[in-house]
Amino acid sequence: MLGDYELFKKDFLKLSGLDLSFYKERQMKRRINSFISRKGHSTYKSFFNSLTLDKKLYDEFINYLTINVSEFFRNPTQWDVLEREILPYLFNYSSTLKVWSAACSTGEEPYSLVMLLSKFLDLNKIKVLATDVDTSAIDKAKLGLYSEKSLTNLPKDFISKYFKKINNSFKISEEIKNCVQFEHHNLLKDRYPLNCDLIVCRNVLIYFTEDAKDIVYKNFNHSLSEYGILFVGSTEQIIMSQKYKLEPVKTFFYKRVKKDSEI
């Protein structure tokens, strides 16, 4: 009874700038259909009409589609590798680093990066660019208020140093917040920043089609500095990374293939 999904995707692209064709179709369609029926609609057309009229519904839908689950130091063993091997390698080349947390969700990832970098640098030398397509996730990130659960993997000394308990939540300190610049960015549409020494992009490409991953990996290659590193999620190892002129340096970490060995 839902009707023409292709037309819905086209209309939604015009409305939101989000191209649903780049997301795995079965998974995406199932989620959308369930949202639509929960909201009491039986066709894509009537649901789309409501989206155009009701900003709250629109925001709720974007928020639902983008799946904002995150936590501090997600998959801690990979952050150990980042601390013990990748950051010392990067600091061999430069005393400051250009760091980009792409698809940063509600801020746990870029704030984790700042705390980790504070072991190597003074806070006033740390700048992390943090981007996401979902502006309400970015708003929450800027607010910096977190549940105890999202702090599970955070070292205790970071909690006592950089968080204040307010009722049942934990508020991150202004000095950590000041090191992060949040911006809206669609990985499938917008221009990428250049000369990044470290790109952290985790737990978003799992939702993308192969065509979408193709676009993103090529762009990441272009975005990395000569010795830059890409850090991916724990289920996101890049198959045939050579195709994107990326090579693994450790599991979940890739660097650009040097120009003189380009294929």
Decide: 213 and 219 in contact? Cβ < 8 Å.
no
Nearer to ligand SAM, 67 or 159 (CB): 67
Which span sits near ligand SAM by CB under 6 A: 25-33, 46-54, 133-141, 153-161?
A: 133-141
Give one word for 144, left, alpha or beta, with left for phi > 0 and alpha for psi -120 to 50: left
Distance CA 41, CA 2 (A): 9
Contacts of 125 (CB under 8 A, 6+ apart): 96
Contacts of 231 (CB under 8 A, 6+ apart): 78, 82, 86, 198, 199, 200, 201, 202, 252, 253
- Is 256 strand, coil or helix? strand
Does 245 help bind ligand SAM (rule: CB under 6 A)?
no
Does 133 help bind ligand SAM (rule: CB under 6 A)?
yes
Name which of residues 186 to 215 contact ligand SAM (CB under 6 A). Answer: 186-188, 202-204
Count of residues of this chain found to bind ligand SAM when the rule CB under 6 A is applied: 23
Question: Minimal distance in Å, beta carbon 209 to ligand SAM?
Answer: 12
Cα 27 from chain centroid (whole Å): 19
Among positions 20, 73, 78, 109, the unique one binding ligand SAM when judged by CB under 6 A: 109
Does 66 help bind ligand SAM (rule: CB under 6 A)?
yes
Question: Minimal distance in Å, beta carbon 39 to ligand SAM?
Answer: 20
Does 241 help bind ligand SAM (rule: CB under 6 A)?
no
In the complex, which residues of this chain contact ligand SAM (CB under 6 A)? 66-70, 74, 103-105, 108-109, 132-134, 137, 185-188, 202-204, 233
